[in-house]
Each structure stands twice: as C-alpha cells, then as structure tokens.
Amino acid sequence: MSDHVFGKGMQRADLAKLTGCNLETIRYYEKIGMMPDPPRTASGYRIYGEDHVSRLRFILRGRELGFSLDEVRGLLALVEGGAQTCAEVKERTERHLADVRAKIADLRRIEKVLTQTAAQCSGDMVPDCPIIEVLAS
C-alpha cells in the first residue's frame, strides 16, 4: 500500500506520520468515538482520507491547547453541526482560558514556595533542611 500520493487513501501509519499522532492513539480515538470508523479494505485494513486528516488535526490541536477530549468533542460537534454562531465556541474557549489561568496561578504559587525554600537551603551538611521543614510543616 502506501499509495505515494494517497490517492486511494492511506493506512494508519501514513495518517500517524502526517499528523504526528501516535499510531495507537488513532485506534484509541476511534474506539472512544472521537474519530469515525473508517472504511476498510477487503482484508480489514483501515483506509483514511483527507477528512480524517483534518479531523485528527483538529483533535490534536485542541489537545495541544489543553482542551480535554470531552471539550474537543463538544467543539467538534459545534463545528460539524454547522453552527451559525461562534458565540458558543467563544464562550467555551473563555471558560477553558479561565481554567488555564487558574492552573498557571497554582503552578506559580508552587514555584514561589519551591524557589524561596530552595534558596534558603545551603545544600551543605545541615541537620534541619528548610525544604524538609516546609514539607513536614
């Protein structure tokens, strides 16, 4: 197989290479209904086309931007459902943005504690390590 121009469709490995997605993840997305069941050859091999490429790219991009699979599923439904308005898309994006910002705030708090504590630690043979104090407090 592996029709060089993908004229008749491509195999799983081709789709994986094209999108940078892990080979097994494609099958996983199919199993949980994120990707549609593709047509098969007579012997059962999956055949993918351009529509599969777009859809998988959409999912991967959403994941890169920190959306959960469920959130991506929702966005896909809006897009595929031919939403006349993007208000809902914007709303979900902003909800997600709030999540992302909350996570950043959390991590910054952690960073601050760790930085301050590590700074107090000489690293020498000290009986009372300030880092351990923080953990044990």
Residues lying near DNA in the complex (CB under 7 A) are found at 1, 11-14, 22-25, 27-28, 40-46, 63, 68-70
Name which of 1 and 110 has its Cβ closer to a copy of itself. Answer: 110
- Identify residues 81-100 at the interface with a copy of itself (CB under 8 A): 84-87, 89-91, 93-94, 96-97, 100
Question: Got the DSSP string for the chain?
Answer: ---TT-TT-B-HHHHHHHHT--HHHHHHHHHTTSSPPPPB-TTS-B-B-HHHHHHHHHHHHHHHTT--HHHHHHHHHHHHTT-S-SHHHHHHHHHHHHHHHHHHHHHHHHHHHHHHHHHH---SS-SS-HHHHHHH-
Least Å from the CB of residue 75 to a copy of itself: 7
Q: Which residues bind a copy of itself (CB under 8 A)?
A: 54, 57-58, 61-62, 64-66, 75, 79, 84-87, 89-91, 93-94, 96-97, 100-101, 103-104, 107-108, 110-111, 113-115, 117-118, 121-126, 129, 131-132, 134-137
